[in-house]
Amino acid sequence: MTMHPGYLNLHRSGELDRRMKQALEGLGCCQTCPRNCRVNRLEGRLGFCRTGRLAGVASYGLHFGEEEPLVGHGGSGAVFFAQCNLACAFCQNYDISHQGGNAPEASKEQLAAVMLELQNQGAHNINFVTPSHVAPQILEALPLAADQGLRLPLVYNSSGYDALETLRLLDGVVDIYMPDAKFFSSAAAQRYCQAEDYPQRARQAIKEMHRQVGDLEMDKDGTAVRGLLVRHLVMPDGLAGTRQWMDFLAKEISVNTYVNIMDQYRPCGRIEEYPELQRPITPQEYEAALLTAEAAGLTRLDQRRLRLSQRLLQALLQGP
């Protein structure tokens, strides 16, 4: 299956410019994400995400560690934005998301150039990593990139803590949504992410994302071209609410939801404050998570990660 990125049609019609202007105007009293800080980012004021008028870009390049449908043979063109609107205490990109204040700010011309450079390097897609607080800046750069020949699908790779109003501006712009499903419990979300409303917001966001793009679709080579892909990080002692998330995805989104059940939790960030987070998950906890997905009726699991995890599980169970 070959698909034409939707943003090209929106650009030709003038709709992309309209949405870009609406998103940028919103920075004057910012409600881009659920934090609703209402600061004037157009004047450089900083809210929770510590990002003003311009987006900070920590790094970018071809990424081969992403999910199998995104990587293909050429890699995913990842753009890692600095700072974050969620602030997970255990963040594995802590230096970028919590301490990214020194990351270079990118003008719309520079951000467009980054997208085009990744396309020229052979990326299958442009993968915006942690974009929830900089969606207006992405929309601002996109017309320039399209005018200069950008033709790749866009991936919105977020924590799931996204505002519905912002997602609606991205309807027809984003081809592939890849949100996290982090915590199903409000108490856990507040304790570890300072966001008591995360479960509600993430469920709403995932529903809206699926409404826009549907189940994940791939071309003849197995490379994603459109749709929803959900990530779920298994946490120690079931803190993430794996069973509840798998039931939600199967019953309220689609049994055909493509899910990456991740086993790579490791103690990092500010975990010295949280004794319960100071160990990795066990092989048994990961196996239980896979069985939970199967019991919910979910069968589209990221196969590359699953194969790696199964080999690791077998090695750990066998012992030295």
The pTM (predicted TM-score) of the whole model is 0.93
Report the distance separating Cα 161 and Cα 312, nearest Å: 31
Contacting residues for 265 by C-beta, under 8 A, at least 6 apart: 90, 233, 234, 235, 236, 280, 281
H/E stretch holding 197 reads none
**CB-count burial class (<10 Å; 0-12, 13-18, 19+) for 139:** buried
Question: Stretch 32-57: mean pLDDT, rounded?
Answer: 97
- What is the domain partition of the chain in residue ranges? 6-318
pLDDT at 317 over 60: no
Q: 110 in helix, strand or coil? A: helix
Q: What is the pLDDT of residues 7-27, one digit of tens each?
A: 999 999 999 999 999 999 999
pLDDT at 68 over 80: yes
pLDDT of residue 132: 98
pLDDT of residue 306: 54
Average pLDDT, the chain: 93
pLDDT of residue 295: 97
Q: 156 in helix, strand or coil? A: strand
Alpha-carbon distances, residue 137 vs 57, 87, 142, 224 (angstroms): 11, 20, 9, 24
pLDDT at 320 over 60: no
Assigned superfamily of 6-318? Aldolase class I (3.20.20.70)
Q: In this structure, are residues 91 and 97 in contact, taking their beta carbons and an 8 Å threshold?
A: yes
Q: List the beta strands (DSSP E) in the chain.
A: 55-63, 76-81, 105-106, 126-129, 154-158, 176-179, 217-218, 224-233, 258-262
Number of neighbouring beta carbons within 10 Å of residue 80? 21
Report the distance separating Cα 198 and Cα 161, nearest Å: 6
Q: In this structure, are residues 124 and 74 in contact, taking their beta carbons and an 8 Å threshold?
A: yes
Report the distance separating Cα 178 and Cα 277, nearest Å: 25
pLDDT at 305 over 60: no
Alpha-carbon distances, residue 59 vs 2, 63, 156, 293 (angstroms): 29, 11, 16, 34
Alpha-carbon distances, residue 316 vs 73, 238, 304, 310 (angstroms): 30, 20, 19, 10
Report the distance separating Cα 166 and Cα 55, nearest Å: 16
Least confident of 1-10, 200-209, 275-284: 1-10
Using the structure block, give the residue that is written with the tokens 């992410």. 193
Q: What is the pLDDT of residues 189-212, one digit of tens each?
A: 999 999 999 999 999 999 999 999
Q: % helix / strand / coil in the chain, to the nearest 5? A: 45, 15, 40
Question: Stretch 90-104: mean pLDDT, rounded?
Answer: 76
pLDDT of residue 316: 47
Q: Please list the alpha-helical segments (H only) found in 14-160.
A: 15-26, 68-71, 94-97, 108-120, 135-147
Q: In this structure, are residues 1 and 223 in contact, taking their beta carbons and an 8 Å threshold?
A: no
pLDDT of residue 269: 85
The partner residues of 55 in beta bridges, in order of sequence, read: 106
Cα dihedral across residues 277, 278, 281, 284: positive or negative: negative
pLDDT of residue 274: 94
Cα dihedral across residues 271, 277, 279, 285: positive or negative: negative
Report the distance separating Cα 305 and Cα 303, nearest Å: 5
Cα dihedral across residues 245, 206, 233, 199: positive or negative: negative
Q: What is the pLDDT of residues 132-160, one digit of tens each?
A: 999 999 999 999 999 999 999 999 999 99
pLDDT of residue 101: 60
